[in-house]
Amino acid sequence: MSKTVVANAYGGPEVLEVIDEDLPAPGPGQVVVEMRAIGVNPIDYKLYSGAFGADPAQLPVRPGIEGSGVVVEVGDGTDVRVGEEVILYSGVGAYAERVLVSAGDVLPKPESVPWDSAAGLLVAGGTAVDALTVTRVGEGDVVVVQGAAGGVGELVVQLAAARGAIVVGVARERHHDFLRGLGATPVEPGDGLPERIREIAPDGVDAVIDTVGTDDVVDASLALGADRDRIVTIVAVERAQRDGFLWIGGGNENSDRIRREARPVLVEMAGHGGLNVAVGTRFPLAEAADAHRALRKPHARGKFVLVP
C-alpha cells in the first residue's frame, strides 16, 4: 500500500487529495522505488490546473516528475539492485510513498548528494542545460541570467561558470552574496537594468537566459542587444514567438532530447561537488496542496521538497 497524491478534478490546490493504493509487482524492466524526497515544480500544478486542457478522460492527474529514493523491488531484465539509492525522473506520479517506474528512469544517487538536493536536480538542471545549449554559451561569453537566484537560474549560473562564461546574475540584493559564491556578478533588477548591465559588461552581452518571463524582463533582455538566436526564455513563449527569440520547454522535441541526455551528466557533476541544488522549504507529502499554494507566491530562495 502506498499513499499517493492525486487530483480527481481540475482546479486549484484544493483538488489534491491523498489516497491509498496498491502497487502491482514490477514487470520486466521495472522497479519500485520507496521515495525519500520529491521535487516540487511549477509543471506539477499546471497539469491539474487546466492550463494544458481539462479533459475528464485524463483524470485522475498524478503530479510529480522527479525525486530520490531506495529501490525496494525489481522486475526481470534490469541491472538495478534492491537497496540501491537512486534519483528518478518518472514523468508522472512521483508524489507518493512508493512509485513503479521503468528501470531506465532511475540513475544511481551519489552518496555525497543529500536526498533533498537529489530530488530537485533533474528538472531544473535539465532546463538549465537546455537553455545554455540552445544559446551556445561557452568559454569567454558574457551571459545574463534573469532570475539568477531561482531554482533554474542558480543552476544556469553554475553550469555557465563551469563552461568558462562570464555570468551576470539578475536578482534582488539579498541574493547577491549567494550569486557571488556561485561565480556570478550580481545586479539588481528593475528600471534601468540594461544600463546597469552595460556598466558591468561595456563590450556587450553575448547571450541572455530568461527564467522570469514577465514583459518588463523580456523587454530588458531584448534591449541588451544580443543576437535573438542567443536569447532564450523558459516562460514567455508567446513573446518569443512574436519577437523572434528562442523558447524551450514542453512540446519542444529538441528540449526533450537535450534534457534526457543531460541527466547522467548532471548527476555526475553533483556527485563530484560541481553542482549544488539549494533546498528551501520541506513539506510532508500530505501537505502537497500547501506546497503548491506557497510555490505560486513570492517565497524564499531554494527548491521545495515533499517528504513522504
**71: domain range?**
2-121+277-307
Mean pLDDT of 35-51: 95
pLDDT at 300: 67
Co-location of 159 and 172 in the same domain:
yes
pTM (two decimals): 0.95
Provide the pLDDT confidence category of residue 111 given band limits of 50, 70 and 90: very high
Domain harbouring 68, CATH code: 3.90.180.10
**Set of cell numbers at residue 302:** 531554494
The rounded percent of the chain whose pLDDT value lies above 70 is 99
Which of 231, 247, 263 is the endpoint of a domain? 247
Instruction: Give a yes or no: residue 268 inside a domain.
Output: no
pLDDT averaged over the chain?
96
Instruction: Give a yes or no: residue 267 inside a domain.
Output: no
147-203 pLDDT, tens digit each: 999 999 999 999 999 999 999 999 999 999 999 999 999 999 999 999 999 999 999
Asked whether residue 252 carries a pLDDT value surpassing 80, the answer given is no
* Residue 58 one-letter amino acid: Q
pLDDT at 25: 96
Co-location of 157 and 84 in the same domain:
no
- CB-CB contact of 271 with 110 (8 Å): yes
Which of 227, 247, 267 is the endpoint of a domain? 247
Beta strand 246-247 with 16-21: parallel, antiparallel or unpaired?
unpaired
Domain harbouring 151, CATH code: 3.40.50.720
Q: Which of 28, 30, 8 is nearest to 18 (CA)?
A: 8
Asked whether residue 216 carries a pLDDT value surpassing 70, the answer given is yes
Mean pLDDT of 48-67: 94
Mean pLDDT of 252-273: 94
Asked whether residue 250 carries a pLDDT value surpassing 80, the answer given is no
Asked whether residue 299 carries a pLDDT value surpassing 70, the answer given is no
14-41 pLDDT, tens digit each: 999 999 999 999 999 999 999 999 999 9
